[in-house]
Structure 1
Amino acid sequence: MTVQATGAAWPAGSPRPGLAARLGALALRDTNVVVASVVLNNLLRAVSSMILTRLLAPEVFGISGVIASLQFTVALASDLGFQAFVVRQEDGGRKRFLDTVWTVALLRSVLLAAALAALALPVSRALARPDLMPLIAASSLVFLIEGLASTSLLSALRDRRILRLSVVEIAALVVQIAVSAGLAWLRGDYWAILGGMLAGAALKSLLSYAAFPDSARGLALDRATLRGLWAFARYVTGSSVIYLLVTQCDKLVLAKVMPLDQFGFYVLAGNLASAPLGFAANYASRVLYPSYAALWREGATDLRARFYARRRLPSLLYAAATGGIIGSAPLVVGVLYDPRYAEAALYLQILCVSSLLALPSCAANETLTATGRISATFEASMAKLAWLGLAGVAGYLIWGQFGLVLAVGLMEAAALGFKWLRMRQAGLLDMTQELAFLAAGAGGILLGLGADAVLGPLLR
């Protein structure tokens, strides 16, 4: 018998594995793999930021934010939820099924690349920056490269190959950082960031075939699969369009009203605030969702207790760590960047409030989706849109750009409150556990403030 991920007891009379084997099995648990990969990912990104902010001017990060926002906008406007669809389907490992998903994804990528290239001229004119046109057009190549990747990157979650998937992603990130740093040293402009993105995407697409068995794909259009994808994706697409509005309108507005160097501070703060989001999203989608979906398919009883049991410790640690970032934001910015970027600290504190709420929100979303309540994602996105429409406009009118940033930082609270309501209706909410997660976050904020008070003066 092999070591069990659930920690089940060993049968009587069976030889217990040695310490090295037990430690190896513990390290390979899905949750621990996700934690290790996210920590390594964030460390690499921190090193990248430390290098690039010393080689590039703040304006370059403002340009990066504009182009990243455009890419995100175009991609999310046509999101079909391929990953969740492949993981949840009973026949998600069938060749013709995967070939059909790959074909649709490839066609979508071609359309996305064409759409972004077509937007290059009007967007550069709207921002009164004609020099952005070739950069925006060239960035469309990222979609083409990603569209060629195998569906093995999707089915890896279903097949529990999380370690291999994480290695592929880390390898692509290392290449992206190395290429960006080299080009930044040689050129000192935005093409350094774009070159790294293209190199990383190319390696990831290549490894999607080389690192996984049965990864070869061919063109196919299976009618049953297409019908199933549409039935699944109609809620995902609607939710993604709303999510697009609530996550990108701040960047589009601020890119217009802020000087590019100030917008660069906001983009850098958003990048730092996304560090814990990497764990929240990956842990929820790669560990919780497959586990929850399996429990639901098997007809398990007492879903509420079993769902919370699977996320309790990671949720508490996540809340404390993210709270620590909020409290110590000036210290974090002071360590990573030179004094030119000190203004990013306030933005980081505000944006990390949403990061603090991201894991309970993502976990709630996966709980509802795995149990068949797919429309909840769309409805929660509508709650975010309503919040941004009211609080965002009011904040901007009263406090200007700071008011809009504040509304964005508190936006996740609206979605989380709605998801809690839907979970309560489904009998899946344990409010005591949720409040414990928030209390851990408050404790982390206090610890972060203390760390900044003690260590901050040494950097200033």
Structure 2
Amino acid sequence: MEPAAARPNLFARALRGGALTAGSYAITQVLRLASNLILTRLLFPEAFGLMALVSVVLVGLAMFSDVGIGPAIAQNRRGDDPDFLDTAWTINVGRGVFLWLATCALALPAAALYGAPELALLLPAAGLTLLVAGFNPTRIDTANRHLLLGRVTALDLIAQVIGIVAMILLALAMRSVWALVIGAIIGSAAKLVLMHVGLPGRANRFRWEKPAATELIGFGKWIFLSTACGFLLSQGDKAILGAYLPLDQLGVYNIGYFLASFPILLGGAVTGRILIPLYRDHPPAGSAANFARLRRMRNGVTTFILALLAVMALAGVPLVGLLYDDRYAAAGAIVVAIACVQMPAVIGMTYDQSALAAGDSRSYFLVIAARAAVQTLAFLIGAEIAGLQGALTGQGIALLVVHPLIVWLARRHGAWDARHDLGGFLAVAVLASVALWWNAGALAALG
């Protein structure tokens, strides 16, 4: 147990790390928005539909093969041991090679499934980003473990800027969806080089220590299953809608999703980086002081993310009208609907890490699996009954239905805060009701 005198330092690092992560994410999204506005004027909606399908396949492969190296390093007692880190890096490199080969194997089937022959070449090329990412150093995870996020955040931001600038310049020259793919490869390569050169510490070497591998795989088997289910939570909408909507409409949906999902993805980025170390060293069940500190942080995160979602829900239609041309007008109603649907998810987003910090990846998997099954089924049923409107409504209902499972997980580790949840759901009810009433006309036209 960390000495009491040192505890404020960890929370101070958590606050700084959260601010750095949030600031970096916000800057990145602003840059992405600026590039998105330029790219939508250089390329056609079908290009964004194609990239949505490419993203579904790449993210799906990445999530279906995630063995939880980052969380394992963050919570394991050997998280600073060179042999443990080199074994973890070796696993990641092998995973990267496997993922690229898998994208090549899936290219033709995906092209046939979605009726998009361009995917036959786009997918193997885009899969190079996964191959490159496999070589990223574990020094990134070490920095996350100790909440020393300043340099990692800065280097990651620079790499993303390089990738975005490359996309824009290539789109100006090529006027093709290939600009987006090549730009993504350049961004991944830039991150690899910057992290290797810019982060202090020893370089990783190929190493296979059996005890380390056993620990990593033992912890990671449940993370693997969890992230496989997480694919349905994060990409299931686009995978399903790809079979319902033509490419241009899928591209419009993707634009709306990009804007509306900013708050929830920001919250996930912040909590994913800072909460495992906090739960690990200051378990909420350990003392009333620990619980009170975590309550304050939880309330702050929830309030901030709900406020951002409320802005998107209330201003989504005029925002899209201001930023995009008439081809993307329907994205405004999509922004409103998705922002309202995602509000219930905010209430439980700070609980999951309590299980991972305790090494309880099995319980974490059970909750993620149930959430994925309920949400995917509700989305499919809604899409069959009432198209896009019905699909999004089903997703919102599913998020409410599965919250008791999140409560069960939080209670197992002493993290559940009933007062937080009650206040959060009251706020969600008010904010979502006002936004839906305010935008009733636009939503009625959403097919």
Same-fold call, TM > 0.5?
yes
| Whole-Å separation in 1 of the counterparts to 2:24 and 2:133 | 21
Shift in Å at residue 100 of structure 1? 0.5
Find the counterpart in structure 2 of residue 169 from structure 1: 156
Aligned ranges 1:6-405 → 2 under 5 Å:
6=8, 29-296=16-283, 300=287, 303-405=290-392
State, as a whole percentage, how many aligned pairs show the same letter: 28
Residues 77 and 48 of structure 1, relative CA distance in 2, 3 Å threshold: same
**Deviations 1:346-396, CA, capped at 9 Å, x for gaps:** 222222235433443331101232234322321222222332354233312
Q: Is the 8 A contact 2:340 2:435 kept in 1?
A: no
The structure-2 alpha-carbon separation of the partners of 1:302 and 1:258, relative to structure 1 and needing over 3 Å to count, comes to same
Tell me: CA distance 1:452–1:246, structure 2 relative to 1, closer, same or farther (3 Å).
closer
- Residues 247/38 of structure 1: CA separation in 2 closer, same or farther (3 Å cut): closer
Paired residue total:
435
Local SS of the residue matching 2:283: helix
Q: Is the 8 A contact 1:81 1:237 kept in 2?
A: yes
Q: Deviations over 1:206-255 (max 9, x none)?
A: 11111111141100011111111111111111111222234434322311
Question: Any conservation in 2 of the 1:321–1:444 contact (CA below 8 Å)?
Answer: no
Alignment RMSD, CA only? Answer: 2.8
Q: Is the 8 A contact 1:280 1:358 kept in 2?
A: no
Instruction: Work out whether residues 351 and 408 of structure 1, in 8 Å CA contact, stay in contact via their aligned partners in 2.
Output: no
TM-superposed deviation, 1:426: 4.5
Structure 1: state its 5+ residue gaps.
9-24, 454-460
Instruction: Tell me what 2:443 maps to.
Output: none
Partners of 1:299 and 1:97 in 2: CA distance: 28
Return the TM-score normalized by structure 2. 0.89
Give the match's secondary structure for 1:29: helix
Q: Give the partner amino acid of 2:98.
A: L
Deviations 1:60-114 (A, max 9, x none): 1000000000001111111111111001011211111111100000000000000
The 8 Å contact of residues 55 and 188 in structure 1, kept in 2 or not, is answered as: yes
Q: Distance in 2 between matches of 1:446 and 1:43?
A: 28
Shift of 1:149: 1.3
Query: How big is the shift at 1:342?
Result: 1.1
Equivalent position SS for 1:282:
helix
Compute the displacement of 1:422 (Å): 2.8
Q: Deviations over 1:290-311 (max 9, x none)?
A: 1111113995555433321222
Decide whether the 8 Å contact of 2:97 with 2:134 is kept in 1: yes
Give distance in 1, aligned partners of 2:166 and 2:328.
23
Q: Which runs of 4+ in 1 moved over 6 A?
A: 25-28, 446-453
Note the residue ranges of structure 2 that are not aligned, 5 or more in a row: 1-5, 441-447
TM-score (norm 1): 0.87
Identify if the C-alpha distance between structure 1 residues 315 and 337 changes in structure 2 by more than 3 Å, giving closer, same or farther.
Answer: same
Whole-angstrom CA distance in 2 between matches of 1:26 and 1:451: 41
Q: Residues of 2 paired with 1:306 and 1:27: CA distance?
A: 11
8 A contact 1:103–1:219 mirrored in 2: yes
Report Cα offsets for 1:104-143 as digits up to 9, x if no partner: 0000000000001111111112222222211111111111
Please say if residues 306 and 343 of structure 2, whose CA atoms lie closer than 8 Å, have aligned partners that are also in contact. Answer: yes
Conserved? CA contact 1:88–1:290, under 8 Å = yes
1:429 aligns with 2:412: no
Residue number in structure 2 paired with 1:17: none
Identify which range, 258-267 or 102-111, moves more after superposition: 258-267
How many angstroms apart in 2 are the aligned matches of 1:192 and 1:211? Answer: 27
